[in-house]
Chains A and B, each alone.
Chain A
Amino acid sequence: MTMQGKELTKLVTRLEDGEALPSEVYAQTGRARIVGITGPPGVGKSSLIDRLIDELRKQGKTVGVIVVDPTSPISGGALLGDRLRMQRHSEDTGVFIRSLATRHHHGGLTDSTPQIVHALDAAGFDIVIVETVGTGQDEVEVAEVVDTVAVVLMPELGDDIQRAKSGLMEIADVLVMNKMDLMNADAARREARPPNDARNWERPTIHTSAKTGEGITILCGALTAHHAYLVDSGELARRRERAARAEVIRLLQSRLTLSILHALEAPLAQSILTDVAKRKLDPHDAVEKLSNAIWDRNK
């Protein structure tokens, strides 16, 4: 482990606040397996991760976990309650768990999640698990940050929800049906068939019960198998390239947005906006007028 608890935790805080990842830290990344666990609220993601940590630790692996919960749009605060289900691992020095609030970023991730994943990767954890808010269509962003996406559902969620989650189904490398202990098992197994997929990886459906521990070993195996597939097929390199590209684009967009907002503060910009509101100027013409100012600023 290259970074101890407090050092790592302070770095994560700085990244959370928007600081850039030090380049010497970034140079250490690329070794960890990054797993995303996502799905609608209430399916048991945190309890599942609690069990996965058990299993991984038995295999001698070290685990870093990032748990993301939504920031309240009204108050700006957040209730980070997922850690509760993993608390028993708190004292294990081979496990690091950190709760993050989305802080108004959409897509289930925080702005700084990729950097924080890098930090845990660089710190030397074998596996980094990212648990995200299950908001539905926005889940696609998770796929850009992790190597393997496990989508967690539970039986009897209802057709409507399933359709809405089709974005989830597209990114799922492993499908997990949790809470098997509660539901009618046969009905669930019928529901579990994933939509048709053109990739070579045969997406497995794993039936689990975080409550009883059923299926956890199999799930672990599936995650390991997927990683092996990624490496063997060269897909890992391609995903990481897409991830790097996505990360850079995001950072650029972020910087540009800040730039734009700053530019709009100018009195000239303000009057242009007022004209648009008063229907004196149409939005496209406004953009023409403004973009000259903005691009000039960035030269």
Chain B
Amino acid sequence: MKRPIKVLIAKAGLDGHERGALVVAMGLRDAGMEVVYTGIRNTPEQIVAAAIQEDVDAIGLSSLSGGHMAQFKRVLELLKKERVKGVLVFAGGIIPDDDAKKLKKLGIKAVFGPGSSIASIAEFLRKYARAK
């Protein structure tokens, strides 16, 4: 049986709005993926530790409070420091275009803004996340 794609959906920082992250988590489950959802108030360190232990194919970071630059940057730095390979990082939430461009340069493969469909996220993952 082909191994399902495994995704970690996490919210970094202090933002407590879960709707988007939860809806995406449920949607990806219904799209046949295994989704680890770690809730709110994760530090970048906790996110990376979870991603390693769970051996995920992708990490979806959600932010609506504007703290994304500092926090997502830190996640990417830690992934590099821990020499984590082959993990796709994508983001969602309220992220202005300029910031999205900067994040993509840092290594975030896609930013899904408001109005994005679960179908498009699932398609993106099927295309780019290599299920081992």
Q: How far is the CB of A252 from chain B (nearest CB, A)?
A: 19
Chain A residues with CB under 8 Å of B132's CB are: 13, 17
Q: How far is the CB of A241 from chain B (nearest CB, A)?
A: 31
Chain B residues with CB under 8 Å of A76's CB are: 4, 32
Partner of B37, one of A10, A77, A79, A88: A79
Interface locus among A32-40, A89-97, A178-186, A262-270:
A89-97
Which positions 1-49 of chain B face chain A at CB distance < 8 Å? 1, 3-4, 25-26, 28-39, 42, 45-46, 49
- In this complex, the interface size class of chain A, counting residues with CB under 8 Å from chain B, is 20 to 34
Per-residue CB contact flags for chain A residues 87-118 toward chain B (1 = under 8 Å, else 0) read 11011000011110101000000000000000
A38 to B7, CA, bound (A): 25
Chain B residues bordering chain A, tally (CB within 8 A)? 29
Q: Is the CB of A83 within 8 A of B38?
A: yes
A87 to B25, CA, bound (A): 17
Q: How far is the CB of B130 from chain A (nearest CB, A)?
A: 13
Q: Is B99 an interface residue (CB 8 A)?
A: no
A160 to B25, CA, bound (A): 33
A77-B33, A91-B49 as given contacts; A99 in contact with B54, CB under 8 Å = yes
- Which residue on A lies nearest to B30, using beta carbons? A75
Q: Is B76 an interface residue (CB 8 A)?
A: no
Chain B residues with CB under 8 Å of A167's CB are: none
Q: Is the CB of A10 within 8 A of B50?
A: no
Q: Is the CB of A77 within 8 A of B53?
A: no
Q: Is the CB of B34 within 8 A of A101?
A: yes
Q: Is B110 an interface residue (CB 8 A)?
A: no
Q: Is A188 an interface residue (CB 8 A)?
A: no
A76 to B55, CA, bound (A): 18
Q: Is A213 an interface residue (CB 8 A)?
A: no
Main SS at interface, chain A: mixed
A9-B55, A13-B132, A96-B53 as given contacts; A77 in contact with B38, CB under 8 Å = no
A16 to B29, CA, bound (A): 18
Q: Is the CB of B49 within 8 A of A77?
A: no
Chain B residues with CB under 8 Å of A74's CB are: 30
Q: Is A218 an interface residue (CB 8 A)?
A: no
Per-residue CB contact flags for chain A residues 8-36 toward chain B (1 = under 8 Å, else 0) read 01101100111000000000000000000
Q: Is A140 an interface residue (CB 8 A)?
A: no
Q: Is the CB of A77 within 8 A of B29?
A: yes
Q: Is the CB of A79 within 8 A of B55?
A: no
A96 to B50, CA, bound (A): 9
A9-B55, A91-B45, A96-B53 as given contacts; A75 in contact with B1, CB under 8 Å = no
Q: How far is the CB of B5 from chain A (nearest CB, A)?
A: 9
Which positions 41-68 of chain A face chain B at CB distance < 8 Å? none
Chain B residues with CB under 8 Å of A1's CB are: none
Q: Is B52 an interface residue (CB 8 A)?
A: yes
Q: Is the CB of A83 within 8 A of B29?
A: no
Q: How far is the CB of A9 from chain B (nearest CB, A)?
A: 5
Q: How far is the CB of B3 from chain A (nearest CB, A)?
A: 5
Other 14 A-B pairs with CB < 8 A, given A75-B31, A83-B50: A12-B55, A75-B32, A77-B31, A77-B35, A78-B4, A79-B25, A80-B54, A83-B54, A84-B37, A87-B38, A87-B50, A88-B46, A90-B50, A90-B53
Instruction: List 18 contacting pairs A-B, 8 Å CB cutoff, sorted by A.
Output: A5-B52, A9-B54, A13-B55, A72-B29, A77-B29, A77-B34, A79-B35, A80-B35, A80-B54, A83-B36, A84-B37, A87-B39, A87-B42, A87-B50, A97-B50, A97-B53, A99-B34, A99-B54
Task: Give the interface of B toward A (CB within 8 A).
Answer: 1, 3-4, 25-26, 28-39, 42, 45-46, 49-50, 52-55, 82, 84, 132
The 7 closest A-B pairs by CB, nearest first: A77-B29, A90-B49, A84-B39, A76-B32, A90-B46, A77-B32, A80-B36
